Amino acid sequence: MYYVDLFLNGLIFGSMYALMAIGLTLVYGLLRILHISHAAVYALGAFITVIVANATGSIALGMLVAVVVSAIFGMGVYRVLYQPMLRYPPYVAMIASIGLLIFMEDAFRIIFGEQGLTFTRNPYPTQIHNLFGITINTVQIAMIVLSTICLVALALFTTRTRMGIAWRATVSNPTIATSFGVDAIKVRYLNFMIGSALAALAGGLIALLNNFVEPTMGFVVSYKALAIIVLGGLGSMRGTLIAALALGLVESFGTIWVGSYLDRDALAFLFLIIVLMVRPQGLTGAHA
């Protein structure tokens, strides 16, 4: 059962990477901006979850507040940071985005302290269950259930609803979409709202699993999310999902097989480099 556990563990981490990276893919697809500060939204989600949970005693409430506040924050980032920069080449916005990530990290450090925060009451990571011989804790179950719900809901939204279809149309051709009455500005806000909400959810869940949040938690994740969207073929949602799960699995098995030489985070980039050498167009092939 050891390998099954590893496999499941890889998928769980992969699903968190997916929640985190989808926002990046959405922003890149629509605006061609590398939204690096998305990782700060993830960290913000984690911090809010802990703070609200500790203040109210309800972790569920903490996650809910984190998702809502981060979604609003994400829309604010678009309005304040990106919208005025759309006239310039995309790297201008990207550099500003890196600046925001560094700024937020320091802000977290100043406000919440260097050492980070823990939940005052969080029994879930240590509640171990045995399902069909697989060992899994409560947080991991929540990760599987919540990420599945979110990803299925997102898939249904983008293929079954008019607004979701109009959203994809805007990604495909913004000018023409407006010729058919789609409000491109609304689509952008929607984009940042959904992407940020998903990142905050991932942040909250990771905080629960580790029972710990720290100011730098967004940094490594930001690199990984970038690796994932490149592997996924930049702008493709399906590619992002596959790349995220693949990375989770590579890390999970890699730490066992080569973990004594390479650290978990270094593995991700080794994987990225190898894949791009073999398939420069990313894992899922060319994106039109």
Task: Give the helix/strand (H/E) hosting 128.
Answer: strand 128-131
From the list 165, 211, 212, 262, which residue makes contact with other proteins (rule: CB under 8 A)? Answer: 165
- Torsion (CA) 189, 190, 193, 199 in degrees, nearest 10: -120
Q: Tell me if 182 contacts other proteins by CB under 8 A.
A: yes
Alpha helices in the chain (DSSP H): 2-31, 38-56, 59-76, 90-112, 138-160, 162-172, 174-179, 184-210, 217-231, 237-257, 264-278
Candidates 48, 77, 94, 166; binder of other proteins (CB under 8 A) is 166
First to last CA, the chain: 41
CA-to-CA dists, residue 102 to 56, 91, 98, 115, 169, angstroms: 30, 17, 6, 17, 34
Determine if 241 is a binding residue for other proteins (CB under 8 A): no
Near other proteins by CB under 8 A, which window of 108-116, 174-182, 196-204, 278-286? 174-182
37 three-class SS: coil
Minimum distance from residue 160 beta carbon to other proteins (Å): 10
Interface residue with other proteins, options 115, 127, 172, 216 (CB under 8 A): 172
In the block, which residue shows the tokens 């249904």? 156
User: Which of 59, 177, 217, 234 lies at the binding interface for other proteins (CB under 8 A)?
Assistant: 177
Taking contact as CB under 8 A, which single stretch among the options 40-48, 132-140, 173-181, 225-233 is the one that binds other proteins?
173-181
Smallest separation (angstroms) from other proteins to the CB of 92: 18
Q: Which of 89, 180, 260, 278 binds other proteins (CB under 8 A)?
A: 180
Q: Which stretch binds other proteins (CB under 8 A): 94-102, 168-176, 217-225, 242-250?
A: 168-176
Beta carbons within 8 Å of 52's beta carbon, 6+ residues apart: 58, 61, 62, 65, 66
Contact 61, 52 (CB under 8 A): yes
Q: Is residue 181 at the binding interface for other proteins, with CB under 8 A as the rule?
A: yes
Shortest distance (Å) from residue 33 CB to other proteins? 20
Minimum CB distance to other proteins, residue 87 (Å): 10
CA distances from 272 to 160, 191, 209, 256 (A): 33, 26, 26, 19
Phi, psi for residue 193 in degrees, rounded to 5: -60, -50
Closest approach of Cβ 280 to other proteins, in Å?
21
Residue 3 CB, nearest distance to other proteins (Å)? 37
CB of 281 to other proteins, least distance (A): 16
Residues that bind other proteins (CB under 8 A): 159, 162, 165-166, 168-169, 172-173, 175-183, 288
